[in-house]
């Protein structure tokens, strides 16, 4: 995806043979991008409990699980990290990592397909 973002003028995001969106990279990022918060629990047995709390806090449509971490669409860049930290504290789950990241084409792919590039 990094190469596509750097080298291509237009990118198609497709899943199972169906084009989900096709446009310039900057337009795709504007339409489906935004910040994301990534939270990786320290212990595998805590994945579901953390996910339940994050979904209760942000809504199920804003929270996905990929590559052993929960990914939250952070529409409000100032409020969202604080809400995520509070949710993690409420869950009582130990966290291995917590990061706020700017969107890239991989974020767009995850948002449109519901899975990471490595899921299949």
Largest interatomic CA distance in the chain: 45
Which residues are CB-neighbours of 55 under 8 A, at least 6 positions away? 63
Give the model confidence (pLDDT) of 93-113 as tens digits.
Answer: 999 999 998 888 888 888 888
Whether the Cβ atoms of residue 113 and residue 15 lie closer than 8 Å to each other: yes
Query: Where along the chain do its domains lie?
Result: 2-113
Sign of CA dihedral 24, 30, 35, 41: negative
According to the model, what pLDDT value does residue 83 have?
A: 92
In the predicted model, is pLDDT for residue 85 greater than 90? yes
H/E/C letters for each residue in 63-98? EEEECCEEEEEECCCCHHHHHHHHHHHHHCCCEEEE
Instruction: Give the right CATH number for 2-113 from 3.30.360.10, 3.90.1150.10, 1.10.510.10, 3.30.70.790.
Output: 3.30.70.790
Whether the Cβ atoms of residue 108 and residue 117 lie closer than 8 Å to each other: no
Give the model confidence (pLDDT) of 12-22 as tens digits.
Answer: 998 999 999 99
């Amino acid at each position: 995806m990094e190469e596509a973002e750097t080298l291509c003028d237009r990118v198609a995001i497709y899943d199972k043979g169906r084009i989900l969106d096709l446009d310039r990279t900057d337009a795709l990022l504007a339409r489906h991008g935004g910040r994301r918060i990534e939270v990786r629990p320290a212990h595998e047995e805590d994945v579901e409990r953390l996910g339940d709390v994050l979904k209760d806090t942000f809504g199920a449509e804003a929270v996905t699980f990929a590559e052993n971490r929960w990914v939250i669409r952070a529409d409000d860049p100032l409020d969202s990290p604080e809400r995520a930290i509070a949710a993690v504290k409420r869950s009582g789950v130990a966290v291995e990592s917590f990061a706020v990241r700017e969107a890239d084409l991989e974020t767009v792919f995850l948002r449109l397909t519901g899975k990471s590039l490595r899921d299949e």
